[in-house]
Structure 1
Amino acid sequence: MTTQTTLTRDLVLVGGGHAHALMLRMWGMTPVQGVQVTLINPGPTAPYSGMLPGHIAGHYTREALEIDLVKLARFAGARVIFGAADGIDADRKVIHVPGRGEIAYDVASLDVGLHARAAHIPGFSQFGIGAKPLDAYADRWDAYVSEVDAGKKAGIVAVIGGGVAGCELALAMAHRLHGLGKTNCVTLIETNTKLANGTPGADRTLREEMLRLGVAVVSAVEVDAVTAEAVKLRGYSDVASEFTVGTAGGFAHDWLATSDLPKDAQGFVHVDERLLVSGYEDLFAAGDCAALMASPRPKAGVFAVRAAPVLYHNISAALTGSEMKPFRPQADYLKLMSLGDKSAMAAKWGRCLVAPKAQLWRWKDYIDQSFMRKFSEFPKMKAAAPVGPVALGAQSNQMLCGGCGAKVAPGQLSAALAEMPTVKRSDVLQGAGDDAAVLEVGGQKQVLSVDHLRGFVADHGLMGRIAAVHALGDVWAMGAKPQSALLSVTLPRMTRELQARAMREILAGVGEVVRGAGAEIVGGHSTMGEELTIGLTVTGLLDGAAITLEGAKVGDVLILTRPIGSGTVLAAEMQGKANGRDVAALYEILAQPQGDAAEILSVAHAMTDVTGFGLAGHLTAMCRASEVAADISLEDVPTYAGAEALAEAGHRSTIFEDNKLAAPVFGPENAKMALLHDPQTSGGFLAAVTAGEAERLREELQAAGHKAAVIGRLIEGAPAIVCR
Structure 2
Amino acid sequence: MVRAALSGYDRAMIALPPLTRDLVLIGGGHSHALVLRRWAMDPLPGARLTLIDPGPVTAYSGMLPGYVAGHYAARDLQIDLVRLARRAGARLVIGRAEGIDKGARQVRVAGRAPIGFDVASLDIGVTSAMPELPGFAEHAVPVKPLGAFATRWEAFRRAPGPVAVIGGGVAGVELAMAMAHGLGRRAEVTVIEHGRALAGTSGRARTLLLARLQALGVTLIEGAEVAKVEAEALVLADGRRLPAALTVGAAGARAQGWLSETGLETKGGFLSVGETLQTSDPAIFAAGDCAEMLHAPRPKAGVFAVRQAPVLARNLRAALTGGRMRRYSPQRDYLKLISLGEKAAAAEKAGLALASHWLWRWKDRIDRRFMDKLSDLPPMPAPKPPRESAAGADPSAEPMCGGCGAKVGRGALKAALSGLTGAQRDDLEVLPGDDAALLRMGGARQVLSTDHLRAVTDDWSLMTRIACLHALGDVWAMGAQPQAALLTVILPRQSAELQQRAMAEIGAAAEAELTAAGAALIGGHSSMGSELTLGFSVTGLLERDPVTLGGARPGDALILTKPLGSGTILAAEMRGAAQGPDVAACWQAMLQPQGAASSILGPDARAMTDVTGFGLAGHLAAICEASGCGAAIDLGAVPMMQGAEALAAAGVKSTLWQDNRDGAGPVFGAAGQRGALLFDPQTAGGLLAAVPQEAAEELMTRLRAAGYPAARIGTVEALPGIRVA
Q: Is the TM-score greater than 0.5?
A: yes
Give the aligned partner of residue 369 of structure 1.
368
1:699 aligns with 2:701: yes
1:466 aligns with 2:466: yes
Alignment partner of 2:82 out of 52, 63, 70: 70
3-state SS, counterpart of residue 581 of structure 2:
helix
Give the aligned partner of residue 3 of structure 2.
none
Give the aligned partner of residue 16 of structure 2.
4
Q: Which has the larger displacement, 424-433 or 501-510?
A: 424-433
Q: Which has the larger displacement, 218-227 or 370-379?
A: 218-227
Give the aligned partner of residue 210 of structure 2.
207
CA distance in 1, matches of 2:589, 2:595: 14
1:631 aligns with 2:632: yes
Q: Map 1:297-376; keep pairs closer than 5 Å.
A: 297-354=298-355, 357-376=356-375
Q: Which has the larger displacement, 343-352 or 303-312?
A: 343-352
CA distance in 1, matches of 2:542, 2:134: 58
Give the aligned partner of residue 8 of structure 2.
none
Query: By how many angstroms is 1:443 displaced?
Result: 3.2
TM-score (norm 1): 0.96
1:616 aligns with 2:617: yes
Letter in 2 for 1:450: T
Aligned residues: 710
Alignment partner of 2:163 out of 132, 157, 161: 157
Query: By how many angstroms is 1:302 displaced?
Result: 0.7
Alignment partner of 1:107 out of 111, 114, 119: 119
Q: Map 1:346-425; keep pairs closer than 5 Å.
A: 346-354=347-355, 357-385=356-384, 389-392=388-391, 393=393, 395-425=395-425
3-state SS, counterpart of residue 338 of structure 1:
strand
CA distance in 1, matches of 2:270, 2:389: 56
Contact 1:423 1:431 in 2 (8 A): no
Q: Which has the larger displacement, 307-316 or 345-354?
A: 345-354
Give the aligned partner of residue 715 of structure 1.
717
Letter in 2 for 1:575: R
Alignment partner of 2:679 out of 677, 680, 703: 677
CA distance in 1, matches of 2:532, 2:483: 26
CA distance in 1, matches of 2:196, 2:486: 70
Letter in 1 for 2:587: Y
Letter in 1 for 2:142: G
> How big is each residue's C-alpha offset from its partner over 1:590-632, in whole Å with a ceiling of 9 and x where there is no partner?
1221111100001201000011000000000101111111010
CA distance in 1, matches of 2:318, 2:612: 45
Give the aligned partner of residue 243 of structure 2.
240
Give the aligned partner of residue 592 of structure 2.
592
Letter in 1 for 2:288: G
Contact 1:196 1:202 in 2 (8 A): no
Letter in 1 for 2:510: V
Q: Map 1:133-172; keep pairs closer than 5 Å.
A: 133-148=145-160, 155-172=161-178
CA distance in 2, matches of 1:194, 1:390: 72
Query: By how many angstroms is 1:394 displaced?
Result: 5.1
Distance 1:421 1:286, change over 3 A: same
3-state SS, counterpart of residue 332 of structure 1:
coil
Alignment partner of 1:689 out of 684, 688, 691: 691
Query: By how many angstroms is 1:668 displaced?
Result: 4.5
- Say what the alpha-carbon RMSD is for the aligned residues: 1.6
CA distance in 1, matches of 2:291, 2:126: 9
Distance 1:551 1:162, change over 3 A: same
Query: By how many angstroms is 1:505 displaced?
Result: 0.8
Letter in 2 for 1:378: L
Give the aligned partner of residue 83 of structure 1.
95
Contact 2:27 2:53 in 1 (8 A): yes
CA distance in 2, matches of 1:233, 1:444: 70
Distance 1:623 1:598, change over 3 A: same
CA distance in 1, matches of 2:542, 2:371: 55
CA distance in 2, matches of 1:490, 1:431: 29
Distance 1:381 1:407, change over 3 A: closer
Contact 2:385 2:396 in 1 (8 A): no
1:655 aligns with 2:667: no
CA distance in 2, matches of 1:545, 1:380: 53
Distance 1:65 1:196, change over 3 A: farther
Q: Which has the larger displacement, 516-525 or 593-602?
A: 516-525
Alignment partner of 2:180 out of 174, 180, 183: 174
3-state SS, counterpart of residue 362 of structure 1:
helix
> How big is each residue's C-alpha offset from its partner over 1:412-452, in whole Å with a ceiling of 9 and x where there is no partner?
11111112223332222224521311121223221111100
Query: By how many angstroms is 1:510 displaced?
Result: 1.3
3-state SS, counterpart of residue 698 of structure 1:
helix
Query: By how many angstroms is 1:198 displaced?
Result: 2.5
1:476 aligns with 2:476: yes
Q: Which runs of 5+ in 2 are unaligned?
A: 1-11
CA distance in 1, matches of 2:228, 2:424: 80
Contact 1:223 1:231 in 2 (8 A): yes
Contact 1:435 1:477 in 2 (8 A): no
Give the aligned partner of residue 253 of structure 1.
256
Q: Which has the larger displacement, 190-199 or 81-90?
A: 190-199
Distance 1:431 1:396, change over 3 A: farther
CA distance in 2, matches of 1:668, 1:411: 19
CA distance in 2, matches of 1:27, 1:422: 52
- Give % identity: 53
CA distance in 2, matches of 1:539, 1:294: 61
3-state SS, counterpart of residue 71 of structure 2:
coil
Letter in 2 for 1:374: K
> How big is each residue's C-alpha offset from its partner over 1:57-77, in whole Å with a ceiling of 9 and x where there is no partner?
111111110101000000000
Give the aligned partner of residue 582 of structure 1.
582
Letter in 2 for 1:696: E
